[in-house]
Structure 1
Amino acid sequence: MQKAIVLASTSRYRREIVERLGLPIHCAAPVCDETPLAGESALETAVRLARIKAMSLADAYPDALIIGGDQVALLDGQQIGKPGSFENGVAMLQWMSGRTVVFHSALALYNSKSGRLQENVGLTRVTLRQLSESQIRTYLSREPDALHCAGAAKSEGLGGALLQSVESDDPNSLIGVPLFALISMLINEDIDIL
C-alpha cells in the first residue's frame, strides 16, 4: 500500500497538475505567513515558503508525503507578489509590460514519518508583450483570479495573451508545480508512477 499523498495547497491549478499523475491525493490548506523576510532573495523566499507549507501539515498527516509549493516572481531585483486588488494588478502589469520576469517555482516534498525533505526550484523566464493600460484592464476584468497570482500573470486561460515567450525546463513550473521534479521526488519515496 502506497503512502498517502497530501498537497498543501488550495490552488485548483496546482491540484490539477499533481492529479495528472493519476495518484490519489488529498488537498489541505497549509499554515504559512507568505511575507518575504528582509534581505531574502526570491529563490530563498520561494524555497522557504514551500518547505513551511509542506511541514505545516505534518501533525495532521503524520504518515504521509506532503507536497508544498510556492512561486515568487522577480523583476529588477524586486520580488513581485500577488496584487490583491485590481489597481495593484494594473500597476504590476504595466511595470512588467514588454519585459522579462523570472518566476521561481519552489517545490518541497516532506515525508512526515521519516522526516525526509526533498526540494527543487523550477525557473521560468517569461517575456510579456507590450501591453496598453486598456488591454491590462480588459484582461483583469475577464480574468479576476489573476489577482491571486504572482504579478497578476496567470498563464492559464486568457493570461496566455499577455505572453510573448516562455523559457523553462518544465512547462508546468509556470503554473506552480515543477512536475518533472515532483515525479523524481515521488520515485525517491518508492511511489509507483507508472
Structure 2
Amino acid sequence: MLPLVLASSSRYRKQLLEKLGLSFIQASPDTDETALPDETAQQLTERLALLKASALSTHYPAHLIIGSDQVATHNGRIIGKPHTKDNAFQQLKAFNGQSVTFLTGLCLYNSQTGQHQSHVEPFCVHFRELSDQQILSYIEKEQPLDCAGSFKSEGLGITLFSALEGRDPNSLIGLPLIALTTMLRNEGTDPLS
C-alpha cells in the first residue's frame, strides 16, 4: 500500500480526508490556477486537480497523491473566492433565490506508475431569498472570504439554502469522498480494511 499525500493546504480538505481514518501527509503544491482561454469550468477543475497532484510527484515518488480543485458556477459564469466583504455581499446578493453549482475536480495520482484517475463531482445549492441584513450578518459572523461562492456549508452557511442537491455533500466542502474511496480501492487502499 502506497502512502497517501493530500496535495492541498486547505484545512477543510484535511478535515474531510481525516474522516476516512487513513494516515496521510499534507503538502501544498505550487501551481498556477489561471483558467485557460475557452476552458469550461469542468475542464478547469479536472485539469487543476491533476496539476496539483502531479506537481508533488518528484517530492513524493512512490505515493498516491490526491489533488482537488473546486469552482462555483452561477448562470454559466465561474465564481471565485470573494477576498473582501464587499465582494462577498455582491456574490450572495446575486445568488438570492437562485442556484449555484459547484464542480469539484478530484485526481488520484500514482507517482510510482505515473497513472491517474480523475473525476468531476457536481453539487447544486439552492439559495433562499435573503435580505441585505441577513447577508451582511452572515458575512460578519462567518467571514467566508476564502471560500468560493462566499459561504461555508459546514457552518452557518447551511442557513442560506432552501435545498441541497448532489451525490456527495463532502464535495461541497472540497473533497468528494465517495469518488475518492472508489479511486483508493482501485489502487489497493481500502479505508474499511
Considering the TM-score relative to the shorter chain, is it more than 0.5? yes
Normalising by the residue count of structure 2, what TM-score does the alignment of the two structures yield? Answer: 0.96
Give the Cα separation in 1 of the matches to 2:189 and 2:176: 17
Give the Cα separation in 2 of the matches to 1:97 and 1:154: 16
Give the Cα separation in 2 of the matches to 1:30 and 1:99: 34
In structure 2, the partner of 1:42 is 41
Q: Any idea what the Cα deviations from partners look like across 1:136-155, whole Å, max 9, x if unmatched?
A: 111111111x1111111210
Amino acid at match of 2:24: I
Q: Are residues 1:100 and 2:99 paired? A: yes
1:43-192 equivalences in 2 (<5 Å): 43-144=42-143, 146-192=144-190
Amino acid at match of 2:100: V
Give the Cα separation in 2 of the matches to 1:110 and 1:184: 13
Amino acid at match of 2:126: T
In structure 1, the partner of 2:31 is 32
Give the Cα separation in 1 of the matches to 2:37 and 2:79: 14
Q: Any idea what the Cα deviations from partners look like across 1:53-87, whole Å, max 9, x if unmatched?
A: 11111111111100010111111110001111111
Amino acid at match of 1:167: E
Give the SS at the match of 1:147.
Answer: coil
Out of 117-126 and 130-139, give the one that drifted further.
130-139
Give the SS at the match of 1:16.
Answer: helix
Give the Cα separation in 1 of the matches to 2:148 and 2:67: 16
Give the SS at the match of 2:103.
Answer: strand
Residue-pair matches, total: 192
Amino acid at match of 2:12: Y
Give the Cα separation in 1 of the matches to 2:95 and 2:36: 23
Give the SS at the match of 1:59.
Answer: coil
Give the SS at the match of 1:151.
Answer: coil
Amino acid at match of 1:190: G
Amino acid at match of 2:10: S
Amino acid at match of 1:4: P
Give the Cα separation in 2 of the matches to 1:141 and 1:36: 30
Give the Cα separation in 2 of the matches to 1:164 and 1:46: 26
1:6 to partner: Cα distance? 0.4
Q: Among all aligned residue pairs of Structure 1 and Structure 2, give the percentage whose two residues are the same amino acid.
A: 47
1:157 to partner: Cα distance? 0.8
Amino acid at match of 2:182: S
